[in-house]
Structures are given as structure tokens and as C-alpha cells.
Structure 1
Amino acid sequence: MPPNTCAAGRTPLTSLLSYVRPHAPGLLGGAALMFLGGLANLAQPMVVKSLIDALTGGTPYREPMLALVSLLLLSVVVGVWGMYLVELTAESVVLTARRRLVTRLLRLRVAVVDGAEPGDLMSRVTGDTTQLRAAATSNVVDLVAGILQIAGAVVLMARLDPVLLAVVMVVLLLLAAVTLALVPRIRRAGEQAQEAVGGMGAVLERTLGAFRTVKANGAEEQQARAVHAAARQAWRRGRQAARWVSLAGVATGLAVQVAFLVVLGVGGARVAADELPVSALVAFLLYLFYLGGPVTQLVGGFTGLQAGLAAVRRIDGIADLAAEDLSRPADRDRAGAPVTVRFRDVSLRHRPDGPAILDRVDLRLSSTGLTAVVGPSGAGKTTLLALVERFYEPTTGQVEIDGRDVREWPLAELRARIGYVEQEAPVLSGTLLDNLTMGSARTSEPWLAEVLERTRLVPLLRRLPDGLHTAVGHRGASLSGGERQRIAIARALLRRPGLLLLDEPTSQLDAMNERALGQIVADVARTTTVVMVAHRLSTVTRADRIVVLEAGRVRAVGTHADLVDGCDLYRGLAATQLLTGIGTRQPKQSPDARHPQQSSDIAAI
């Protein structure tokens, strides 16, 4: 799970301000208008005092009445415009945060993402940035505006009656002490609530990612219980956060009510003793009512800021994770040149105390031809390809491309020269063209047409209602497994790679399409280095060389004929894939007439 700490050298508050800084003009403009509206509200009690004095003294009251109406209109108009500017700025802040976060996420190392929960990462992009939105704009404005408005009200209340002001200040200080005591609890509860929401997203993502498996096994209720348990945990954490925020709100309301009652009693006594005019008491009470808004604003801004800072910690936790440097552009001009691959005493462990995924692999692959990698499940075949792509870094040893350690290559340039087809052959939501030209947006139409022909995708193209511009659905739901596999292969070939890595590309192809793909691969291998993880013997026998892996070690390298004669492990694998009983070297047995197809397969060995 990614850590919930800010990037090194930054506090959550400075990190929060870094999101605000690019949008400071809009935020300051909105805050200034809102503050102007606050000043208009602040002047109203003094105008009301003048109006009462005019009415009780028999003097003209037209001017104070007009002034009061003007102040009301001004406070409404500038307040609305100020709030609108702040909300606009808030949207810009959250857009900037999400762009920055998504960019960072897509540059994380594969090993880091493998160890994280995708649902939690998604929660940081969605829920946490929403919390950041309020904290970086409205909460900050509420804090500043609340402080300034309270200060202005206190100055004017001091002019009206210092004794009553002293009573109010005692109540405000008590409120401040209560709020400060609640801040750590509010912050901690907010962090726990957001982590719980991220955990719920992770559970739900895992369930939806295996949706068909859940359905096929009748596990809806079981998975629903797991998601419900995570949702209940989020609810429980949310209740804790709400409890402390509500307590702060209740304390604010109670403080204002207590202050009003005390001022009313003390002020009434001072009016009765002719120590304070009635108009001054009314104005003072109006200021006290007015103070309820800024005080609530201040406390709300403070508690909201704590939730926002908790979100910043989670967002900036992504910045602490290991990321790839993709700053240097790819050298597209060399993308089609064949390469040589060399593994020099390569070992890989995901943890220092963990088992060896690869163990002292020493291997050289020539610049052209097809190399098949075979071995039992868990032998490290896919990991071998991942090291070439630098999805993982070797624990010891080095992987070289054209005599140069892959760690010395700029990543963008390295991967521009490699075409990679995963075993799952993922297809993203979007059009067929989007999936084919992923990372190869400048592909020419003639080359695209040629690749579609070579990968036998033309019949699919003709069948789709909008051709290349047909939406393929979430994860290619409208396509068959074989079609997704061919799309992934076409995507790799469109890059004109110098090195083509295929992780079991024939796993979802029928015999006819497998033979067609074999012809494509053989053609590509004449001018390109092709390394293919394979399980089907019909695929392996076409290879120029075969690498046999077991338990992370290279057991043998050679042609099919060489390995059948000299490698018991390979011979056993080949026999198993042919569904024969050959586990030892017994090819001289006469074929069983009841199984002619099996006999021909044995003869092929």
C-alpha cells in the first residue's frame, strides 16, 4: 500500500499551497469580492444604529435607510460573484491535481503498481482530490475571511461598548480552546475515513476485475459480503469523523448562543442604568449575530482544512513511490533496427529474503531469428521478458541491448524499439483504431493496412459497423479472445520494433489462426529479434533456438531436435503438450494403430 506521507522536504500545508499557487489570481479575486461583501455586512449594524437614532431623535432617516439598502444589495452581488470565482478556481485546482496525480501514477514502476491496490490508487485520484478541492480554495478563503471579519467586528464592537466586548471575548477564547483540542482528533478521523474509502474501492475493484469468475462460481453473495464489510468499515470511520466535526459545530453554535444571552443580560442592565444607548445595544447584538457567520466559517474552514491536509498526505504519498524517468524522447528513427539481447549472470528477487525468480541467467540472443522460451509454470519465462522491458530491475547481473545495459538506455528510447504482447492481450475501452495505434499515433495508412492484413484482422474490420472507428467496449467485451490477441499483436507490429516480445501469443487462437500467426512471426523474425514465451509444441518447433527454463535457471538451449535428444525436461514438456505418454526417451516403440494422429505427432518429435 502506498504510504500516506508527503514528498520529502514538504509539509502537508506547503504541499497544499503548491496546488493553489498557479491559480492564485482567481482565488484572490474571489476572496477579495467575498471580503468586500463581508465589509458591507460589517457596516450594516452601524447604519442600523444611525437609523434608530434618527427615528428616536426625530431627525431625517432617508439617508441611513438608503445606505442600509445599498449595503444589502452590495453584499449580495459581490458575495455571489466572489463565491462563483472561488468555485471556478476550485475546479481548476482539482483538475491540476488530478492531472499531476495521473501523470505520476502512469510513470510508476511496474513493481510498485503490482504491490499496490488499484482501487486505493483510484480513490486518491477521485475522492482525495475532491477533498483537496475544498481545502485548497473555500476552506482557505473561509479561514482568511473569517479571521478578518471577526477582527473587524471586534474593532467596531469595541467602539460601541468595551464591557460587552470583554464578555464576548471570554466566550470566543473558550470556543478557540475547544476547537484546538478537537483538531488532532478531526485530522486523525479524517485520515482513517479516507483510507477506509480507499480500502472499499480496492475490494470492489478486485471483485469487478474477476466479475465473470464470480458469476461462474456463484460467489455473488460471498463477494457482496466482502464489499459490504469494507463499506461498513468506511461507514464506521466516517461516523467517527462526523462525530468530531459535529462536536466542533455544536460548540460554535453554543458559544454564540451563550454570548448572546450574556450580552443581552449585561447590556439590558447597562441600558437600564443609562450607561448604554438602546441603539448601541441593538447594534452590538446585530454584530453578535453577525459574528455567528464568520465564527462558523472559521471553524468550518479549520476542520475542512484538516480533512484536506489528510487528503494531501495520501496524494503526495504517490510522489514518494519509485517512478520511471520518461523525460527523454524516443528515437523513432532507429525503432526498426534489429537488436541483440544478452543476459549476464542475471538474478531477480522481489524481496531480499524472497525466493529467486531468476537465478544466474546467462544467455545471448542473436539479432534476428525466433527464440522460443519454454518451461514449467513458474519457471520465470514472463519475468525474463519483463526484465528486457525494464518492468523490473535485476537484483544482480545486467541485461544488455546491443551491448548496452538497459538501465543506461533512456526508457522511452528503449521501449520504442520493443514490441510487447502480454499473455492477457488487454484491449482498452475505446475504438479499434485507438487500440491499434496506442503509442503509434503517426502510423501511416499503408502500413496500418498491411499489418491488419498480416494479422488476419481484415474480416473483423469488415464485420464491425463503423470499421476502425467502432467502439470495442470495456476491456474489449465485444471481441473474442482470439481477436483481442490479434489486435495486441498488430499493435506491437505497428511500432516497427527491432525486438518483438511475445508472451504466449497463441494462447487464444485456433489452429488455423495459429498457423497464420506462425507465418507472420517467421516473416518478422527474418529482420527482427523475436523472443516468444510458448507452450504449444507446434509453435516451438518453428523456432531457430529454444531456451528451456526451470526454477529460474536456464537448463538448456538448442533446436527442437537437439533438445529432444539431449534434454529430459524438454522432452517431457513436449510429450505432455502432445498429450502422449512420453516422459523418457522411448521413441522406438511402434505406433499404436488405434491412435494414428498421436503416432504422427510422436514421429514429429
Structure 2
Amino acid sequence: MLSLVAAAGALAQPALVSRVIAVVGSGEPLLPAVGLLVVVLLAASALSAFQQFLLQRTAEGVVLSTRRLLTDRLLRLPIAEYDRRRTGDLMSRVGSDTTLLRATVTSGVVDVAGSVVLALGAVVAMALVDVWLLLLTVVSVAIGVTTAVLASRGVRRLSRQAQEEVGAMTAAVERALSAVRTIRASGATAREAAAVGASAGRAYTAGVRVARLEALVSPAGSIAVQGAFLAVLGVGGYRVANGSMTVAELVAFILYLFLLVMPLGQAIGAYTELQTGLGALVRIQEILALDPEDDEHAERPARAAAPAPATAAGPPPLLQLDGVDFGYPDGTPVLRGVSFDVPAGSRVALVGPSGAGKSTILALIEGFYPVSAGVVRWSGTDVREMPRAALRARLGYVEQEAPVLAGSVRDNLLLTRPDATDPELWAVLADVGLTQVVRRSPRGLDVLVGDEGVLLSGGERQRLAIARSLLARPELLLLDEPTASLDARNEQLLRETLAAASADRALLVVAHRLSTVLDSDQIVVLDQGRVVARGTHDELVDSSPLYRELATAQLLV
């Protein structure tokens, strides 16, 4: 609305200038005409400035809301989507792609609307002054505008390609920085810098293609403006000389000409900006079009799940896998007919060679992937009939890499229980043997752990991740290689902690080091995605050749 009012003020100015010139020629009082011109000029300028402020604020609001929406969707995507995409490219969509939307708003839609109104008003006013000069102007401008529009047609496609190259470059930088210590230790710094540089070069080439195409637009607009001005000035001067037009009318027409060509130039530039923004918008919409993981409603199975088998011993087990198959989207099978139970309050271990599918089972229990066949039950209920959030509230999960988030020890612990008190935080740190580590710093719980926990040792990161899960008081604690980074002393301490933790919760532990699971109530042996044996340590040593081989290799037999 403000742009329309500002356009009206701009359209009034040439008429007022013509009035001032006419007043000077007639000898009438000059002050009222000049005063009105100054008032209209100042008012139009003030409205234009305010409109630009509102426009910029609106653009920032669009960027903010888009970033929030995009980030929310990224954090809710199914885990399988993260397996298919590069983190750096996703980051680029939140950063550089959303930034391009600002230019789309500020130089695109609103400017086009205001420019069209201003141009139409100028055309009407020019027609009232001199129709023949208007026809001459339209022909000159039409040639330039047509050329500019044709040159802008490929901007959207090239802009999207450029943003994809920027995303690839960001992914390459993220890959290098996340493994910078490994790269330095491997003497690969120069090679990685060259790889990132090559990716930056491809982004540069794509950007230059966009710039080359956009550069064709500007000369077309300039030629249209200059050609129209020179034609009007020559023909208009001739008409003033032969008395068919007054000087005041010629001045007014030229001013209206500038009001016409200026918004046309802005409209051409806005069209180009709009094409660039739409190229980025396609990449944003590509993510927003993905279905998020449903945390609120139950995911119904494709077929009716078989009920949990009745047992004479009483209630069903806390967790049950019944004939579970799983394979990745590329068709690679991982699990075949896996079945075992985790009774409440029990300790169950998953062991076997690398690649047997042990960690995949934990991911299926968490609902990160859907099973291909079979069923996973929680207390007798198919987990596909439970809201994922409700299921995960009963589970604690410590991944093999034991991720630690940038921030403080307190930030990491409160991730699972934001309402936990300081005494509870200190108690769970004591359970995993981290009290002295945290007390080394005068900041205590607020000591920083660095990006991805780099200021902690591998064992300290693992123990902090376990403490984070214990703080949530889960009914079932899933541990993927919990002692992989621990020395013998801390391994023993953690074994004591897990033994105490299993008094009021069930444990499901993936382990390569069998010494940590010797006292488990049940050990499930997997090989090539199948359960090949189940039992206690002593039973399996006698009955399972694979388990006996693993135990012998670790000097446990």
C-alpha cells in the first residue's frame, strides 16, 4: 500500500514541475506552486523510506520463518534421509539458500507490483501530454524489455545449479573440519585443501554462468533507456521548435519518461532476482516436501501384527523381537528372522562378529527404521501401534560413537531431563566415575566440552553419554559398545554401575569385549544377520562354536 502511495506521489511530481514552469511564464505567484512541489517531494521520499524499512523487515521475517520451518523439518526427518544426504548440503539450504529469499522479497514481488503501477501511471500521463511521443517511447522500450526477458529465462535453472555447487562445497568443508585431526595425522591436509578448493572452483564456475547471463540484462535495459531518451529529446525538441508542443509539456514528458523507464529497469532486475530466489526456493521445498517422522501418532502396520504369545509365567517380556527381517533400501539384507526376548529387569547381551547386525537391532528398537518383516513388541504391544515419542521416553540409548554436543557438561546431561537438579546431575556423574573429571575445572557442571566433546577423552565422552541416558531413568537401557573406549579400571567401574542400574531397569548391551557381559542373564549370538545361539556364558561355551571361538580369542576360556 505504501509503495502505491509513493508511486502516486512520484507521478504527481512531473505535473507539479510543469505547473511551476507555466507559473514562471505567466507571472503568477511562484511560492504556492513551489511549496506544493516540495511538500509532495518530501512526503513521497518519507513514504518511500518507510516502505523500504517495512520491506526489509518483512524480508528478514520471511528468512526467519523459513529457517525455523526448514530446521524443524530437518530435525524431524526419518533417519534414513540422513543416510542418503550430506550434512553440509543440508546446512547450505538453511544458510545460503534461505538468504536468497531476502533478495526475492526486497527486489522481487513488491518492487514488481509498485513498478507496474508507476509505469502504467506514467504511460497514462504521457498519453495525455503527447500520444506520438508515447508511441515512439513504447517502441524503443519494448525492444529493450523483450531482449532482457529473453536473457533472464535461464537464470532460475543456472541459479539452482549454482546453489547445488555451493551445497557440495559446504559439505566438503564440513567433512574436512569434522575429521581435521585425522587429516593432519594422515598428512592429507594439502589433498583435502585441494579437494575443497576444487569444489569451490565448481561453485565459482556455476556462479560465473549466472553472472554472465545476468550481465546481458543490464545493457538491454540501458539501451532501452538511452534510446528512448534520445528519441524523445530529438523529436520533442523539433515539436517545440515548430510550436506544436510547449517547453513545459516536453519537460513533463521527459520526467514521465524517467518514471516509466526507471521502474521498468527495476522490474527487469526484480525478475532476475526472482528467478534466482526461485532456484533456491526449489531446494528448500525439496526438503519441506519430505514427510517428517511422525512423533505424535501411531504408525500403523501394513498388516495386522500377530498378538504376543501367551506365557504361563505371567506378563509378556518388556521387549520382544519376533521373526524380524531388515534390509537397506538398496536391497542389502541385514537381519533375517531375528527373535529374542528382554524380560523386565534382565541383562541381555548381543555379541557376534562385526557386521552381524547388532547395532542395527538397537536402531530398529528405537524406531529409526521400519522392519521389513516380523514385529518388535513393547510389553506385548507392536511398537508400530505406539507413538514413537512414547516409546523413546521408555528407552535410553547410547550410540557406539557416544556423541557429545558442543556446550557444557550440564547442557549435555539436561538433554534428556531438562528439569533435573544439580544434586541429581552430580549423582549420575558419580555413577559413571566422572565426578573428579568435572571437578577439575572451577566451572564445575558448566565446564565446556568443546565441539563434539573434543576437550574430553574418548572414555570420558562415552561415560558422559551413558550418564545422560541414566539420568532419564529409562525402563530399558540400550548400550552399543559401552566399554569400547574405557581402560581396565574404568571398565570395571562401569560394570559395577551397570550392575546397579540393572536392579530397576532392563539392559540390552552390544559388546565385542565379552568380559563386560559374562554375567548377563542371556547372551544372544548373531552371525550374518541371524541368531545362531542363545544362553549364558557357560552354556554358550559348551554349545556354540562361534561363541567359543570369540571367547577363546579374548582369553575367556
TM-score by length of 1: 0.86
After superposition, the C-alpha distances for 1:417-445 in whole angstroms (9 at most, x for unaligned) are 00000111111111211100103112244
Q: What is the CA-CA distance between 1:392 and the residue it aligns to?
A: 0.9
Alignment partner, residue 84 of structure 2: 115
Equivalent residue of 2:153, what SS?
helix
Aligned to 2:539: 562
- In structure 1, the residue corresponding to 2:55 is in which secondary structure? helix
Q: In 2, are the aligned partners of 1:326 and 1:412 still within 8 Å (CA)?
A: yes
| Partner of residue 497 from structure 1, selected from 474, 482, 485 | 474
Matched, 1:166 2:135: yes
Q: From 426, 443, 449, give the equivalent of 2:426.
A: 449
Number of the residue aligned with 2:192: 223
Give the deviation of 1:246 after TM superposition. Answer: 1.9
Counterpart position of 1:301: 270
Cα distance in 1 for partners of 2:144, 2:553 equals 78
Q: Tell me, yes or no, if structure 1 residue 79 matches structure 2 residue 48.
A: yes
Tell me the residue number matched to 2:462.
485
Query: Could you say which residue in structure 2 is the equivalent of 1:344?
Result: 322
The C-alpha deviation readout for 1:42-84, integer Å capped at 9, x for no partner, is 2211111111222233332222221222222222222111111
More deviation in 534-543 or 123-132?
Answer: 534-543
2:320 counterpart SS class: strand
For 1:227 and 1:391, how far apart are their aligned partners in 2?
Answer: 32
| Partner of residue 421 from structure 1, selected from 383, 391, 398 | 398
Which residue of structure 1 aligns with residue 124 of structure 2?
155
Inter-partner Cα distance in structure 2 for 1:543 and 1:345: 23
Q: 1:431 aligns with which of 398, 405, 408?
A: 408
Residue 176 (structure 1) aligned with residue 145 (structure 2): yes
Alpha-carbon distance between aligned partners in 2 of 1:52 and 1:102, rounded to the nearest angstrom: 59
Counterpart position of 2:511: 534
Contact in 2 for aligned 1:338/1:529 (Cα 8 Å)? no
Match of 1:213 in 2: 182
Say which is worse superposed, 449-458 or 375-384, in terms of deviation. Answer: 449-458
Alpha-carbon contact 1:338-1:367 (below 8 Å) kept: no
Give the equivalent residue in structure 2 for 1:191. Answer: 160
Deviations 1:542-590 (A, max 9, x none): 2221111111111111111111111111121222234xxxxxxxxxxxx
SS of the residue 1:557 aligns to? strand
Matched AA of 1:542: D
What letter matches 1:514 in structure 2? E
Amino acid paired to 2:154: R
> 1:341, CA displacement in angstroms?
1.4
CA distance in 1, matches of 2:552, 2:145: 80
2:118–2:259: 8 Å Cα contact kept in structure 1? no
Instruction: Give the structure 2 partner of residue 471 of structure 1.
Output: 448
Distance in 2, Cα, partners of 1:458 & 1:412:
31
What do the CA deviations read for 1:182-223 (whole angstroms, capped 9, x no partner)? 343011111111111111111111111211111111111111
Matched, 1:271 2:236: no
> Structure 1's 126 and 339: CA in aligned 2 closer, same or farther, altered over 3 A?
farther
Q: Which digits, 9 at most, give the CA deviation of each residue in 1:306-335, with x for residues without a partner?
A: 112122211111123242112369xxxxxx
Q: CA deviation at 1:339?
A: 6.2
Give how far 1:137 is off: 4.4
1:386 maps onto 2:363 in alignment: yes
* Aligned 8 A contact 1:339 1:529 in 2: no
Amino acid at match of 1:475: E
Equivalent positions of 1:225-304 (< 5 A) are 225-304=194-273
Between the aligned partners of 2:520 and 2:531, the Cα distance in structure 1 is 17
CA distance in 2, matches of 1:239, 1:450: 59
For residue 135 of structure 1, what is the aligned residue in structure 2?
104
Inter-partner Cα distance in structure 2 for 1:172 and 1:547: 80
AA partner of residue 93 (structure 2): R
CA displacement 1:127-175 (0-9 Å, x = unmatched): 1111122223442111111111111111111111111111111233323
Contact 1:344 1:361 (C-alpha < 8 Å) held by counterparts: yes
Shift of 1:115: 0.9
CA deviations 1:80-108 (Å, max 9, x no partner) are 11111111111111111111111111100
Equivalent residue of 1:357, what SS?
A: strand
- The 1-side partners of 2:523 and 2:78 are apart by 30
TM-score, with structure 2 as normaliser: 0.94
Aligned position for 1:411: 388
Conserved? CA contact 2:101–2:280, under 8 Å: yes
- Alpha-carbon distance, 1:354 to partner: 2.3
- Matching residue of 2:306: none
Structure 1 unaligned segments of length 5 or more: list them.
1-31, 330-336, 579-603
Partner of 1:511: 488
Q: Which residue identity does 2:549 align to in structure 1? A: G
- Asked whether the equivalents of residues 145 and 221 of structure 2 are also in contact (C-alpha less than 8 Å), the reply is no
> Contact between 2:55 and 2:105, CA under 8 Å: does it hold in 1?
no
Q: Which residue of 2 aligns with 1:102?
A: 71
* SS of structure 2 residue aligned to 1:325: coil
Q: Distance in 1 between matches of 2:331 and 2:181?
A: 33
Shift of 1:224: 1.1
Q: Would the aligned equivalents of 2:364 and 2:371 in 1 still touch at CA under 8 Å? A: yes
Kept in 2, the 8 Å contact 1:325–1:411? The answer is yes
Deviation of 1:110 after TM superposition, in Å, equals: 0.7
> C-alpha displacement at 1:404, in angstroms?
1.4
| Shift in alpha-carbon separation, 1:338–1:170, aligned structure 2, 3 A | farther
What is the distance in 1 between the residues matched to 2:449 and 2:85?
28
Specify the SS of the correspondent of 2:429.
Answer: helix
1:363 counterpart residue number: 340
Shift of 1:338: 11
Aligned counterparts of 1:107 and 1:406: Cα–Cα separation in 2: 19
Alignment partners' CA distance in 2, 1:182 and 1:480: 58
Residue matched to 2:303: none
The answer (yes or no) to whether the contact 2:70–2:94 under 8 Å persists in 1 is yes
Contact map agreement 1:40 1:72 (CA 8 A) in 2: yes
**Which piece of structure 1 moves more, 338-347 or 45-54?**
338-347
1:146 and 2:115 correspond = yes
Unaligned runs of 5+ residues in structure 2 are: 299-314
What residue number does 2:305 align with? none
Take 1:561 and 1:473, find their aligned partners in 2: how far apart are those partners?
A: 44
Structural mapping, 1:58-69, within 5 Å: 58-69=27-38
Instruction: Tell me whether 84-93 or 497-506 shows the greater mean CA deviation.
Output: 84-93
Residue number in structure 2 paired with 1:596 = none
Deviates more, 1:58-67 or 1:83-92: 58-67
AA in 2 matched with 1:296: G
Name the structure 1 match of 2:312: none
The count of residues paired between Structure 1 and Structure 2 equals 541
Distance 2:368 2:516 in 1: 26
Q: Does 1:547 align with 2:524?
A: yes
| Pairwise CA distance, 1:125 | 0.5
| Cα shift readout 1:494-544 (whole Å, capped 9, x = no counterpart) | 111011000001111111111111111112222211111111122021222
Amino acid in the other structure paired with 1:367: A
1:363 match: secondary structure: strand
Q: Which amino acid aligns with 1:513?
A: N
Q: Partner of 1:442: helix, strand, or coil?
A: coil
